[in-house]
Structure 1
Amino acid sequence: MADNRVVQGRMVTPNKLAELIEGDDVMDAEPISDADRTCPDCGGDVLEVGYMPSAMEFVTGWKCQECDWSETDRD
């Protein structure tokens, strides 16, 4: 099931969204969902994705659809 979303004008897959948040390659990512929050920088809509940057770690990340803002639950 494709659940690609538009982020900053580009269509991204769950893995690509996770890579944008992580700043590096990820092993696996869950489907993208809408986070129930707005971006603290620009007020845009925020997406949420759970992903595995390594075999031993699971991270939840958030990324604004409009600007560069992102954060993870390990911040």
Structure 2
Amino acid sequence: MSNRVVEGRMVTSETLAEMIEGERPMEATEIEDADRECPECGGNVISVGYMPSVTAFVTGYKCQDCDWSEKEDQ
């Protein structure tokens, strides 16, 4: 499992998903580079796929430098 630094602290994929969703996910995939810049600060954006519930899968995006985040339901 890969850890990344987000807003100055080391996070796991589950912790990153929790930052985006607001609650701990059931399961989360590996953290990946999103190949885009943050629309607020221009920082690097990373992504993580996670299951907030049994019937849903979400891809979340989070800036590594500021509190911007976004999610896409699939």
Aligned residue identity for 1:46:
V
Aligned residue identity for 1:27:
M
Show the counterpart of 2:36.
Answer: 37
Question: Residues 49-72 of structure 1: CA distance to partner in whole angstroms, max 9, x if unpaired?
Answer: 000000110000000000000000
Structure 1 residues 1-75: aligned runs within 5 Å: 2-74=1-73
- Give identity over the alignment, percent: 63
CA–CA distance in structure 2, aligned partners of residues 25 and 14 of structure 1: 10
Q: Per-residue deviation at 1:36? A: 1.0
Aligned residue identity for 1:62:
Y
Structure 2, unpaired ranges of 5+: none
Structure 1, unpaired ranges of 5+: none
- After superposing on structure 2, the runs of 4+ consecutive aligned residues of structure 1 that deviate more than 3 Å are none
Question: Residues 13-41 of structure 1: CA distance to partner in whole angstroms, max 9, x if unpaired?
Answer: 00000000001111000000000100000
Aligned length: 73
TM-score by structure 2 length?
0.96
Cα RMSD of the aligned pairs, angstroms, is 0.7
